[in-house]
């Protein structure tokens, strides 16, 4: 059965379908970056909430800005915004249809429509999943990257926005002119202090365009921090076949994920918000301890397992975790190097949390791609791994396994494993990183000199030596030998 609004009643026998009247939803949240994660996480929370009475003032309007989003536009159009989410675990697959995206706008088709939607008085929240690299942060300095080609373009053509910041700025200018309050801007990307980072970068950008607008947003705007968690692999044809064969649904773009989900949100929504706490989200006044714990343990461990995993010929996270060497690397990095840097987190038993992470990474049903986890290392290594290195060095703690993770990334950037198999590199800095990795080989100096990624660590001898040693052993002993040595 084809997935669309008029077929929902027919599908209800096979899967759970939206238990609310979709036509009455008000798309008061605009979400930029409708990818796998948003659809498996925030959209599921709202879908749960809409099933409870009295919440129809909330719904999503999805927005895609990039050329690659044309395929999502097509899927959303033929399917009336509907799609299947399949939760996969040892207990089996559970599917449901999500209906909370009432509208989808693909910006290159009609930029004005996106601007007007953002500037609409009914738009109360603008949420973002635009990846860790989407915030124009110079990783070395932590400051706004005004030299980024997107930003250079936006400043030259403020009337014709193309990137997220350009659209936000142009829409906020319209709201300001029209005497409307700014929308709340909620980042749901994996960045520590994601709201604070969004505020700082967006205000720095606005200051270059329109100081008055920047001042207005600094005073009246709100940027709640949030911690988001649910492992969501990239959608593949295998997933489309699964949805068709197991549930009888023809869906151009389903999404599969693990059963676990978590969302901790700072409660700073002057324009109102959905009652997410009714459906399992945790509203708090301080997200930082949760976020730090999650990024330093979950996301850094993902970095630790994916690059060495690809070098050893694995495709999926659970395969890498079945390798005793990689399992030991992940566990020890968490226990010996990261845990000593974490504060107590209210309501969380850290030992139990780490056990759960190991279980989640090892879930064979999820089949999370190492290539996905290794996407955009240039943004992820500086955000997930290097902050622990800095803190550990300051406290006299160990960094051997963190440095090994960085060295594994360097080795991976070279492009081929020891068997000559290609390792896919998906990174905005791919060309430069690959060239430096090939030029440097076993010598880490060329890559380490990238100050916009490593900042002060570029010339911190203890770090440089640890990475150099690990990289030399990856080239000298091979991935297996180096891994055995480091966990011995």
For ligand NAD, the binding residue among 42, 55, 129, 192 (CB under 6 A) is: 129
Distance between CA atoms of residues 166 and 176, nearest Å: 15
Residue 136 binding ligand NAD, by CB under 6 A: no
Q: With residue 87 as reference, give the H or E element that holds it.
A: strand 83-89
Q: Which is nearer to ligand NAD, 131 or 284 (CB)?
A: 131
Q: Are residues 126 and 51 in contact, defined by beta-carbon separation less than 8 angstroms?
A: no
Nearer of residues 35 and 377 to ligand NAD, judged by Cβ? 35
Binding-site size, ligand NAD (CB under 6 A):
25
Q: If phi over 0 gives left and psi between -120 and 50 gives alpha, with beta otherwise, what is residue 439?
A: alpha
Give CA–CA dist 288/293, Å, rounded. Answer: 8
Length of the chain: 488
Q: Report in angstroms how near the CB of residue 191 gets to ligand NAD at its nearest.
A: 7
Taking residue 272's Cβ as centre, other Cβ atoms within 10 Å add up to 12
Q: 323: alpha, beta or left, given left = phi > 0 and alpha = psi -120 to 50?
A: beta
**Which of 36, 59, 377, 440 is the binder for ligand NAD (CB under 6 A)?**
36
- In the region spanning residues 178 to 217, those forming contacts with ligand NAD, defined by CB under 6 A, are 189-190
Residues 49-88 that bind ligand NAD (CB under 6 A): 64-66, 68-69
Nearest to ligand NAD of 236, 465 (CB atom): 236
Question: Which residue stretch of 11-19, 31-39, 345-353, 416-424 sits at the interface with ligand NAD (rule: CB under 6 A)?
Answer: 31-39
Strand arrangement of the beta sheet that strand 92-98 belongs to: 92-98, 83-89, 255-257
- Give, as ranges, the residues between 147 and 166 that touch ligand NAD (CB under 6 A): 163-164
Residues 6 or more apart in contact with residue 488 via CB below 8 angstroms: none
Q: How many CB atoms lie within 10 A of CB 262?
A: 15
Least separation in angstroms between residue 381's CB and ligand NAD is 14
Q: Which residue lies nearer to ligand NAD by CB, 73 or 175?
A: 73
Binding mask 91-110 for ligand NAD (x = CB under 6 A): --------------------
The piece of 8-16, 124-132, 276-284, 309-317 that touches ligand NAD (CB under 6 A) is 124-132
- Measured in degrees and rounded to the nearest 5, phi and psi for residue 384 equal -105, -30
List contacts with ligand NAD (CB under 6 A). Answer: 33-38, 64-66, 68-69, 129-132, 134, 163-164, 189-190, 228, 230-232, 234
């Amino acid at each position: 059965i084809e997935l669309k609004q008029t077929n929902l009643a027919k599908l209800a026998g096979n899967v759970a379908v939206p238990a609310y009247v979709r036509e009455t939803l008000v798309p008061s949240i605009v979400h930029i970056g409708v990818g796998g994660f948003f659809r498996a996480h925030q959209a599921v929370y709202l879908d749960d909430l809409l099933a409870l009475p009295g919440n129809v003032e909330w719904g999503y309007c999805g927005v895609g800005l990039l050329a690659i989003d044309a395929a999502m536009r097509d899927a959303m159009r033929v399917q009336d915004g509907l799609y299947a989410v399949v939760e996969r675990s040892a207990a089996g697959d559970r599917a449901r249809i999500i209906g909370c995206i009432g509208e989808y706008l693909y910006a290159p088709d009609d930029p004005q429509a996106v601007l007007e939607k953002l500037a609409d008085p009914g738009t109360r929240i603008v949420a973002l999943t635009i990846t860790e690299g989407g915030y124009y942060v110079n990783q070395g300095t932590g400051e706004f990257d005004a030299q980024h080609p997107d930003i250079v373009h936006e400043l030259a053509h403020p009337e014709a926005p193309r990137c997220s910041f350009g659209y936000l700025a142009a829409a906020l200018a319209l709201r300001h002119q029209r005497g409307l309050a700014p929308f709340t801007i909620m980042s749901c990307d994996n960045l520590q202090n994601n709201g604070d980072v969004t505020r700082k970068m967006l205000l720095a950008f606005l200051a270059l365009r329109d100081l008055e607008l920047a001042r207005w947003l600094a005073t009246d705007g709100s940027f709640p921090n949030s911690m988001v968690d649910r492992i969501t692999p990239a959608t593949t044809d295998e997933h489309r076949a699964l949805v068709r064969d197991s549930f009888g649904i023809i869906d151009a773009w389903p999404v599969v994920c693990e059963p676990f989900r978590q969302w901790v949100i700072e409660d700073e929504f002057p324009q109102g918000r959905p009652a997410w706490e009714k459906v399992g989200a945790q509203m708090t006044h301080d997200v930082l301890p949760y976020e730090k714990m999650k990024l330093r343990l979950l996301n850094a461990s993902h970095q630790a397992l994916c690059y060495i995993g690809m070098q050893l010929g694995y495709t999926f996270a659970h395969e890498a975790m079945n390798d005793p060497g990689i399992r030991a690397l992940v566990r020890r990095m968490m226990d010996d190097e990261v845990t000593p840097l974490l504060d107590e987190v209210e309501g969380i038993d850290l030992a139990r949390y780490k056990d759960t992470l190991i279980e989640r990474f090892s879930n064979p049903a999820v089949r999370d791609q190492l290539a996905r986890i290794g996407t955009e290392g240039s943004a992820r290594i500086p955000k997930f791994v290097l902050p622990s290195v800095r803190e550990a060095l300051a406290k006299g703690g160990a960094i051997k396994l963190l440095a090994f993770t960085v060295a594994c990334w360097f080795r991976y950037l070279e492009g081929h494993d020891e068997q000559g198999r290609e390792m896919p590199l998906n990174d905005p800095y791919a060309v430069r990183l690959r060239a430096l990795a090939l030029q440097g080989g076993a010598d880490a100096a060329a890559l380490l000199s990238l100050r916009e990624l490593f900042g002060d660590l570029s010339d911190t001898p203890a770090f440089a030596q640890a990475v150099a040693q690990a990289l030399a052993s990856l080239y000298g002993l091979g991935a297996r030998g180096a891994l055995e040595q480091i966990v011995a």
